[in-house]
Amino acid sequence: MNKNTAVKKGLCGMCRSQCAIEATINDGKIVSVAADPDSPRGYLCPRGKLAPAVIYGRARLLKPLVRTGKKGSGQFREATWDEALDIAAKGFLAVKEKYGPRALASYFGQGVLEATIDKAGDSFFANLGSPNDLDRGSICFNASRIIAPMLTIGMGMDATVPDIEHSEIVFSWGKNSYTDDGPARMYSRIREMQKRGGKLVLIDPRREAMNSKADIWIPLMPGSDGALTLAMLKIIIEEERYDKSIAEDFTLGFDEFRQYLKKQKLSKLLKYCGISEKMLRELTDLFCSTTKASFITFTGVEYQPAAVQATRMIYLLWALTGKLDVEGGMYISKTGLSEHKLYVPDKDNLPLGADKYPVFTAYTKTGLMSDLPDAVLKNDPYPVRGLLMVGGSPMVTFPESRTWAKTYKKLDFMVVLDRYMTEDACYADVILPVSTRYETASVLDLGGMVQLRDPLIEPVGGTMNDIFVLQKLAERMGFGDRLPDTNEKLQRWYLEDDALYRKLRKSDDLTVRREKAPVVYEKYKKGLVRKDGKPGFPTPSGKIEIKSTVLEKYGYKGIPDYRDMRETIKDKDLNKEYPLTMTSGARTMVRIGSFGQNIPEMAAKEAVRPMADISTEDASAYGIKDGERIRVVSPFGSKVFYARITEITPGSIHIPYGGGSRFMSGYWARGNVNDLCSLRYRDYISGFPIIKDIPCRIEKYYRKKN
């Protein structure tokens, strides 16, 4: 190691998990990273290893840019920070002047993945009176992590943790910990559970999820999770295999739900699921064999017509069979939870989408990005004309890339903050280059511990922390005092607790660990969950709400239901024309959000082309060979992909997301699976677009001859 080389401890900046790392820094540049051997959070995944490639990538944005060509042309000139910020502020103020504050919208995407920047984003344009500070929660995590569990048991997913160390069975249902988890390393904990003799049950159309390590694979048709939960609940309730004391004392709507289940035909539910009755009964028997069963779930159950209801029913399965807050089940990690107050927006200043998806707004205090195109293109419900995009790329991550292009063209003004060019940024008036998380200060708050994160290196080139850019922009628009402009102010502003800041600064590893509460099971029976100390749950009724009082308040039916995409589209020829069902969105070990194929080193770790996974059965039925080009046609579009024959539910196909930008290599530039989906079809409660239940067909692809 030469005298200019140093090893610094810090946090990985590639995703929100923020694993503890050691960076080797040579002449002020990070040359490599490794897991911190001294930290229990020390971990480095293949994505984290690519940090130097991302920080110093040749295509990294380093100078502010001002558009010179037509929108979408990608022609820009370099500008000074002052000039670019002046233009940006003037542009937004002009929109406000002409159309009013609510014509301004901001979108903070997956590229941000940083709590401090999210805090700035939560109310950026609110400072000017706009209700439209939107974020990636419009298309990710809010349905499964917040809305569904809040409606059912009055707490978010974070308050219910799988007690894996004591579980005999773990159900992986709509989440792939192998590719998704950081230092918590759920995947390793589940593997340990298997070594102890426990079983991993995978409910997923893709056998290869959880690294193909499941003991039992339920090859479900994409989008039919709700049908499976209904079928299991029907058997469990009709055969009286539920916990009667819980049903009687702690639920609301049990009898009504029992009546509803009676009317459900098992044969019809099984048809949606694509599994046999034998498989369903064996799964239900296994599920009922112990209370020591936990689950992991997440966005895999989102993006179907009744996504919130499907996740609600997963919680009901666990609650009604006595697996909630018991050893080995789903442990309630917090006590004295405050009853959640539903947000009531100003009816004369509603966020986008709040009129159609009021429950989303009630729980998230915000609106839906998927409703932006209508506001821009049709003035529905009112015109939006100015957009600030921070670390986001809806053209790659939302359905209908062409609709987004049209939307951006019609905007009066658009500013993008990002680290790399995106397809969306080509339509911006101004692009402002921001730093990676290795170059910026921040705070990591995991509940059990808080840590200050100081920059490992100076900002690369002319870049700045997103927050400081926002502060400078805010200053020009009259609210600069609301945001911090130095690293220290940023950390204090985020913590809102000067005593804690000083304590953190004084500690050797910039960390304060909070004491763990002792483990107490069945807290809801002991009055340890509700704020008022009464037994029960922090829902409006104090019960597990099978029948949701909140849903009823907003005009929905309270009892959970299942909706099938084919019946939602209501086209009688759908089954004939589109006999297969497509799903998308599975992550890889290196990709994060729209970050991936645009970075050559990341692209090199993935398939060279976007593949369409099909089963051996379907490949043989359609005469398709592995690696052959196929056309995938849905009611919303058609695209060519390369077939990959793999273990996947027969009748379904999976296509990875992440293609569709000119800054990606080869076929990835065109292979945008989201063009096979539609912004019109959504989960009826959360407003999340449907990307996991798309009717489609496949055709052999013949290149046109000249």
Looking at beta carbons, which residue is closest to ligand SF4? Answer: 48
Nearer to ligand SF4, 47 or 136 (CB): 47
* Nearest Cα residue to 387 out of 361, 412, 420, 352: 412
Helix (H) or strand (E) holding 35: strand 29-35
Nearer to ligand SF4, 44 or 218 (CB): 44
Q: Does 12 bind ligand SF4 (CB under 6 A)?
A: yes
Per-residue contact flags (x/-) with ligand SF4 for residues 157 to 186, judged by CB under 6 A: -------------------------x----
| 487 dihedral zone (left: phi>0; alpha: psi -120 to 50; beta) | alpha
Q: Does 440 bind ligand SF4 (CB under 6 A)?
A: no
Helices (H), 381-486: 394-397, 401-410, 466-477
Q: Are 211 and 250 in contact (CB under 8 A)?
A: no
Helices (H), 528-573: 549-553, 565-569
Is residue 123 classed exposed, middle or buried when 0-12, 13-18 and 19+ CB atoms within 10 A define those classes?
A: middle
**End-to-end CA, the chain:** 60
- The least CB distance from residue 589 to ligand SF4, in Å, is 9
Q: Does 599 bind ligand SF4 (CB under 6 A)?
A: no
- The least CB distance from residue 47 to ligand SF4, in Å, is 4
Q: Does 444 bind ligand SF4 (CB under 6 A)?
A: no
Q: Does 10 bind ligand SF4 (CB under 6 A)?
A: no
Of 7-15, 62-70, 415-423, 503-511, the segment contacting ligand SF4 by CB under 6 A is 7-15
**Furthest-apart CA atoms within the chain: distance in Å:** 77
Q: Are 88 and 479 in contact (CB under 8 A)?
A: no
- The least CB distance from residue 179 to ligand SF4, in Å, is 10
Torsion sign (Cα): 349, 353, 356, 358: negative
Near ligand SF4 in 26-65, by CB under 6 A: 43-45, 47-48
Nearer to ligand SF4, 17 or 583 (CB): 17
- The least CB distance from residue 13 to ligand SF4, in Å, is 7
Question: How many CB atoms are located within 10 Å of the residue 380 CB?
Answer: 13
Of 11-19, 309-317, 328-336, 442-450, the segment contacting ligand SF4 by CB under 6 A is 11-19
- The least CB distance from residue 662 to ligand SF4, in Å, is 26
Nearer to ligand SF4, 114 or 466 (CB): 114
Q: Does 595 bind ligand SF4 (CB under 6 A)?
A: no
Helix (H) or strand (E) holding 188: helix 186-195
What is the total residue count of the chain? 706
C-alpha span between 193 and 351 (Å, rounded): 45
Q: Does 17 bind ligand SF4 (CB under 6 A)?
A: yes
- The least CB distance from residue 658 to ligand SF4, in Å, is 16
Helix (H, G, I), strand (E, B) or coil at 581: strand
DSSP code string of 388-415: EEES--HHHHSS-HHHHHHHHHH-SEEE
Nearer to ligand SF4, 110 or 132 (CB): 110
Q: Does 436 bind ligand SF4 (CB under 6 A)?
A: no
Of 9-17, 231-239, 291-299, 446-454, the segment contacting ligand SF4 by CB under 6 A is 9-17
- The least CB distance from residue 250 to ligand SF4, in Å, is 37
- The least CB distance from residue 35 to ligand SF4, in Å, is 8
Nearer to ligand SF4, 12 or 89 (CB): 12
C-alpha span between 132 and 130 (Å, rounded): 5
Near ligand SF4 in 182-211, by CB under 6 A: 182
Binding site for ligand SF4 (CB under 6 A): 12, 14-15, 17-19, 43-45, 47-48, 182
